[in-house]
């Protein structure tokens, strides 16, 4: 389910952001609309849950948006750069373009949390970086590399890492509820988009039914990805989820190359394979370290 929702969302967003049949260039509006749909769906589910709590469990929501505004600003940059990266790069290269998230996470964990990372994890990051450089050079050699897309990919990776570090600090402010956090982030981001977005007027007269249907579907899928991500972690484990996400990205890359008929070189695929292998190895190393720490803590309590 996670794979279906996630891959579908990427391809829908790519169609909305880059389709030549849509003579509009407004990626910020598209991102704003998706955040707005998530806000509306959260409110609806909260109301329904209050009416039938025995059949649907969803937290009550209020509008204390100031609670996590700093985190929402990071979330804002994350969703903007993600979609801009997807706009300027092929879906096949989208995963690699954002693959330095793990590397940034190690760096920011040291700079912000003052926590060091073990040598094995750093070695995994080295494999990811080598794969990233290989893929970038090959993409450039094929003439399909966008420097703007590459910049947005790096910015998205940095924002995702920063968000993952700050999120643990802000969860207590929403009573540990992922859904409240999702609601606040999308609500605040929607407001920020209205303030910054000069593209809103462009869409007032653009009433194509198919376009708006795709916009609505993308918003629903954007909301659904929050649910299925949480669900997958709950029914499996964070390690399984990380490996599943990396494997999903690899399958997404293969599907994209088949659909677009953009055949890549052996070195291009080797670079992708290195990124996938490094990411999975890093997730495994972090998991093993977490298990060791938990065992040490339980032993100390005894």
User: Taking 90 as the threshold, does the pLDDT of residue 155 lie above it?
Assistant: yes
**pLDDT category, 210, cuts 50, 70, 90?**
confident
The pLDDT value given to residue 31: 84
Q: Is the pLDDT of residue 145 over 80?
A: yes
Residue with tokens 């690699």: 96
Greatest mean pLDDT range, 161-170, 190-199, 234-243: 161-170
Give the pLDDT score at 267.
Answer: 92
Q: Residue 233 above 70 pLDDT?
A: no
At residue 235, the pLDDT reads 64
User: Residue range 246-261: average pLDDT?
Assistant: 82
CA distance 45 to 213: 21
Is the pLDDT reported for residue 72 higher than 90?
Answer: no
Burial of 16 (0-12, 13-18, 19+ CB in 10 A): buried
Residues 155/77, Cβ–Cβ less than 8 Å: yes
Show the beta-strand stretches assigned E in 7-80.
none
Task: Count structural domains, the chain.
Answer: 1
The pTM (predicted TM-score) of the whole model is 0.84
pLDDT of residue 198 exceeding 80? no
> What pLDDT was estimated at residue 109?
85
Range of the domain at 222: 2-301
């Amino acid at each position: 389910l996670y794979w279906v929702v996630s891959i579908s969302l990427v391809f829908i967003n790519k169609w909305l952001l880059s389709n030549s049949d849509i003579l509009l260039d407004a990626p910020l509006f598209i991102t704003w609309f998706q955040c707005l749909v998530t806000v509306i769906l959260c409110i609806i589910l909260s109301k329904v849950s209050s009416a039938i709590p025995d059949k649907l469990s969803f937290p009550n929501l209020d509008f204390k948006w100031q609670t996590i505004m700093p985190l929402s600003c990071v979330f804002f940059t994350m969703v903007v750069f993600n979609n801009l990266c997807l706009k300027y790069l092929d879906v096949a290269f989208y995963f690699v373009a954002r693959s330095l998230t793990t590397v940034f996470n190690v760096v920011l964990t040291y700079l912000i949390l003052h926590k060091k990372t073990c040598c094995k994890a750093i070695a995994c990051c080295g494999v990811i970086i080598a794969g990233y450089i290989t893929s970038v050079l090959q993409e450039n050699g094929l003439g399909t590399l966008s420097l703007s897309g590459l910049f947005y990919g790096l910015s998205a990776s940095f924002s995702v890492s920063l968000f993952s570090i700050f999120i643990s600090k802000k969860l207590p402010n929403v009573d540990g509820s992922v859904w409240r956090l999702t609601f606040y982030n999308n609500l605040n981001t929607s407001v920020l988009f209205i303030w910054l977005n000069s593209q809103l007027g462009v869409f007032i007269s653009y009433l194509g039914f198919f376009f708006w249907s795709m916009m609505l579907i993308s918003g629903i899928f954007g909301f659904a990805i929050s649910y299925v991500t949480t669900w997958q972690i709950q029914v499996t484990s964070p390690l399984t989820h990380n490996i599943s996400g990396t494997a999903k990205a690899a399958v997404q890359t293969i599907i994209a190359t088949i659909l677009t008929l953009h055949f890549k070189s052996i070195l291009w695929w080797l670079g992708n394979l290195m990124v996938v292998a490094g990411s999975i190895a890093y997730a495994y190393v972090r998991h093993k370290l977490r298990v060791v720490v938990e065992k040490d803590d339980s032993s100390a309590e005894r």
